[in-house]
Amino acid sequence: MKIVFATHNQHKLKEVKTLLPSEIQLLSLDDIGCFDEIPETGKTLEENAKIKADHIISVYGFDCFSDDTGLLVNALNGAPGVYSARYAGEQKNEKDNMTKLLSELKGNTNRAAHFKTVIHLNLKNKSYSFEGIVEGHITEKEFGPGGFGYDPIFKPEGYNKTFGELSAETKNAISHRGLAIQKLVAFFKNRAL
CA distance linking residue 20 with residue 36, whole number of Å: 26
- The phi, psi pair for 191, rounded to 5°, reads -85, 0
- Which one of 30, 68, 96, 151 is the catalytic residue? 68
Active site (annotated) includes residue 96: no
Measure Cα distances from 119 to 7, 65, 100, 111, 180 in Å.
Answer: 12, 7, 27, 26, 7
Strands, E assignment, the chain: 2-5, 25-27, 64-73, 112-123, 126-138, 154-156
The catalytic site residues sit at 68
